[in-house]
Chain A
Amino acid sequence: MNDKKLIIDIENISKLYHMGVETVYALRDITLQIHENEYVAIMGPSGSGKSTLMNILGCLDTPTGGKYLFGGEDVSVMDDDDLADIRNRKIGFVFQTFNLLARATAIKNVELPLVYSGRPSSQRHETAKKALIDVGLEDRITHKPNELSGGQRQRVAIARALVTNPSIILADEPTGNLDSKTGEEIIALFRDLWHKGNTIILVTHEEEIARHANRIIRLRDGLIERDELNQKAG
Chain B
Amino acid sequence: MTLVEFKETIVIAIDAMKGNKLRSLLASLGVVIGISTVILMGWVLTGLQSAMDETFRMIGVDILYIDKWDWAGGKNWKLARQRKDITFEQADLMMERLANAELIFPTARDWGGSIKHENLIFNGITIIGTTSNHGLTSAGETIEGRYFTQFEESIHSKVVVLGHKVYTTIFPDGNALNQTIKINGHKFLVIGVIRKQGTMFFDFIDNQVFIPVGSFVSMYGRHNRSISIGIKAGSEEMLDEVREEARGIMRSIRNVSPEAEDDFSINETKAFENQVATLKLYVWGIGIGMTILSFIVGIIGIMNIMFVSVTERTKEIGIRMAIGAKRRSILFQFIVESSTLCFVGAIISLIICSGITFAVATILPKFVEEAGFLTPYLPFQLLLIASIVSIFVGILSGIIPAIRASNLNPIDALRFE
Contacts and interface: CB of A to CB of B under 8 A. Distances in A.
Q: Do A and B come from one complex?
A: yes
Interface of A: 55, 58, 60-61, 80-81, 84-85, 87-89, 93, 95, 99-101, 103, 112-113, 115-121, 160, 164
10 contacts: A61-B411, A84-B326, A85-B324, A87-B321, A89-B324, A112-B323, A115-B5, A118-B4, A120-B4, A164-B324
B2 interface: yes
Given A58-B322, A95-B414, A118-B4, 6 more contacts: A81-B327, A84-B321, A87-B322, A99-B322, A116-B324, A116-B326
Contact of A117 (B15, B319, B324, B410): B324
Contact of A80 (B5, B320, B327): B327
Interface in B388-417: 410-411, 414
Interface in B1-43: 2-5, 7-8, 15-16, 19
A115 B410 contact: no
B316 A101 contact: yes
Contacts of B325: 84, 116
A81 B326 contact: yes
A55 B411 contact: yes
Contacts, number: 67
B215 interface: no
Interface size class of B (residues with CB under 8 A): 20 to 34
Contacts of B326: 80-81, 84-85, 116
A99 B5 contact: no
The winner among A81, A112, A119, A121 for most chain B CB atoms within 10 A is A112
Which 9 pairs, one residue from A and one from B, show the smallest C-beta to C-beta distance? A88-B324, A118-B2, A116-B324, A84-B326, A113-B323, A115-B8, A81-B326, A99-B319, A118-B4
Contacts of B324: 84-85, 87-89, 113, 116-117, 164
Give the dominant DSSP class at B's interface.
Answer: helix
B223 to A, nearest CB: 89
B327 A84 contact: yes
The winner among B3, B318, B327, B411 for most chain A CB atoms within 10 A is B411
Nearest to B319: A99
The winner among A95, A100, A103 for most chain B CB atoms within 10 A is A103
Contacts of A80: 326-327
